[in-house]
Chain A
Amino acid sequence: MLPRIILVSALLAAGPASAQWFHVTTPGIPRTPDGKPNLTAPTPRGPDGKPLLNGIWQMNGKYLQNIAADMKPEDVPYQPWAEQLFQARQNGALGKTDPAARCIPGMPKLDALPYPFKIIETPGMVMMLFEGFTTFRQIFTDGRELPKDPNPAWFGYSVGKWEGDDWVVNTIGIKESTWLDNAGRPHSDALHLIERFQRRDFGHMDILLTIDDPKAYTKPWTVKEDLRLIPDTELLEYVCVENEKDYGHLVGK
């Protein structure tokens, strides 16, 4: 279901809007002599020597459907109940129980939406502005600790810090009803997400995403998701609940 909504609305949105200021030239992008962005130029760095993450990024869309797309199925270390629930959700059998089907975004699927998101670094906080759902994450970099017993939230609570050239984001407090992917991999209230943002060069970034959830998986497991920089454009508006017609056709309760 979600892929259908996403593909259709992305196609519709991309057409009529392309004549607008979505063709603004992004400043600060290295370019080849013909003016095209040089996306294999070196990773830009700030005065502190750390990679800059600013920009509009787009995730490889396959991870939304299947977060373990690059793994052998048997390598996902499910607890028995989690594997049973995953199997029960296969082939859309419980599509209505995915909060995203009711236009409720959540982590970690939010990162994996096939729409662009914009990273803006500010002192003490990094923003991620998502075209998908026109929503945002705040990742605090002011040294605060994760809350001890947080009110469960759809996006959880996130803090970030640098480890060498990796920007490491730790997130807890995610509501257990979110799905890890459209395929339906579950998690529990014990989920701890670790995202390692690694900007490989000017136009490419990986997120090494570790799922640490001892209630749902027997050990932490890690996937590598790849993103590309989208230059010379801007985020569009995306309002999920507007004229939403899919939910009524989904199955499950």
Chain B
Amino acid sequence: MIMRIIAAVALLTGAASAQWLTTKTPNVPRTADGKPNLTAPAPRLADGKPDLSGIWNPNPKYVRDIAVDLKPGEVPMQPWAEAVFKDRLAGLHSYEEPDANCLPQGVPKLDTAPAPWKLIQVPGQVVILYEAFTQFRQIFLDGRKLPVDPNPIWLGYSVGHWDGDTLVVESNGFNGKAWLDQVGHPTTEKLRVTEKYRRTDFGHMQIEITIDDPGAYTKPWTVKEGPTLLVDSELLEFVCSENEQDVKHMGTKK
């Protein structure tokens, strides 16, 4: 399924490349031949904080398996979660994956969706515009606390603060329906996610993600992902439910 998505993205990129998707991104350091210098220092805002803004392209290996860099057994699944995971890993439930049904990926899977996302910093909040499903997410930096008993939703509620040069985003209020990845690591309504965004240089970001879900895992566990900056481009429109033909071919149990 995901290969099809990738193929579709490739097709779109081709057809659209003649459009303003090739608009030059301003304020990008460039080498003498005009190419973006992605190893230049990370830019900063007027207040000295790192400027994380830009279009970021996730490494697609994490959408398949968020724990791909961990050793087998390092994901501390509770027995029921492991049973669900093994069932899903066998592909028997792929038709149930929310993503396959055009439902939101949830956090943090959205960070890894194999389509770019644009991060924008404005006073009091960060907005992330996702090419995937043309969705957005708001992260509030105005000092508000996470809600105490939130209405469960797909993307949760997110607040952020700076820890030195790292933007720390904490989220709760998830509905427990999302899969962390395509192989099917489960979540529950007890999920809390901490994402630590650090721009290591102009063209590279590290995101350290901690999954704290006492409903499914015996202890919090952490993974790292690293999107790269996509310059001189723009987000495309991605409407999942348009002419969707995949889900009926997925899985075997109905």
Contacts and interface: CB of A to CB of B under 8 A. Distances in A.
Interface stretch (A3-11, A161-169, A209-217, A237-245): A237-245
B241 A241 contact: yes
Interface residues of B, number: 39
A179 to B, nearest CB: 15
Interface stretch (B34-42, B72-80, B120-128, B219-227): B120-128
A234 B125 CA distance: 12
Contact of A129 (B16, B133, B138): B138
A151 B12 CA distance: 9
Interface string A69-81: 0000000000000
Contact of B20 (A147, A234, A242): A147
Contact of B241 (A104, A138, A147, A153): A104
Given A122-B122, A237-B155, A102 B26 contact: no
Nearest to A24: B144
Nearest to B125: A120
Contact of B154 (A125, A135, A235, A239): A239
A241 to B, nearest CB: 5
Contacts of A140: 20
Nearest to B16: A151
Given A19-B149, A150-B19, A242 B103 contact: yes
A27 B153 contact: no
B239 interface: yes
A235 B20 CA distance: 30
Interface in A138-152: 138, 140, 142, 144-145, 147, 149-151
Interface centre among A24, A151, A155 (most CB of B within 10 A): A151
Q: Which of B16, B104, B120, B239 has the most CB of A within 10 A?
A: B239
Contacts of B124: 27
B19 A147 contact: yes
A134 interface: yes
Interface string A124-140: 11010100001110101
Interface in A142-200: 142, 144-145, 147, 149-151, 153-155, 157
B81 interface: no
A147 B122 CA distance: 27
B31 interface: no
B103 A21 contact: no
Nearest to A130: B136
Interface in A201-246: 234-235, 237, 239-242
Contacts of A145: 20
A27 B133 CA distance: 31
Contacts of B242: 99, 104, 154
A144 B124 CA distance: 28
A154 B242 CA distance: 10
Contacts of B153: 237
Contacts of A47: none
A134 B150 contact: no
A17 interface: yes
Contact of A241 (B103, B157, B237): B103
A200 B20 CA distance: 33
Contact of B136 (A16, A135, A153, A157): A135
Given A102-B241, A142-B26, A153-B237, A27 B142 contact: yes
A151 B19 contact: yes
Nearest to B19: A147
A102 B133 CA distance: 14
A103 interface: yes
B175 to A, nearest CB: 9
Given A127-B129, A147-B19, 4 more contacts: A27-B142, A120-B127, A122-B122, A149-B18
Interface of A: 16-17, 19-21, 24, 27, 99, 102-105, 120, 122, 124-125, 127, 129, 134-136, 138, 140, 142, 144-145, 147, 149-151, 153-155, 157, 234-235, 237, 239-242
Q: Which 9 A-B pairs have the closest CB atoms?
A: A237-B153, A147-B19, A153-B237, A20-B147, A136-B136, A17-B151, A135-B134, A241-B102, A151-B16
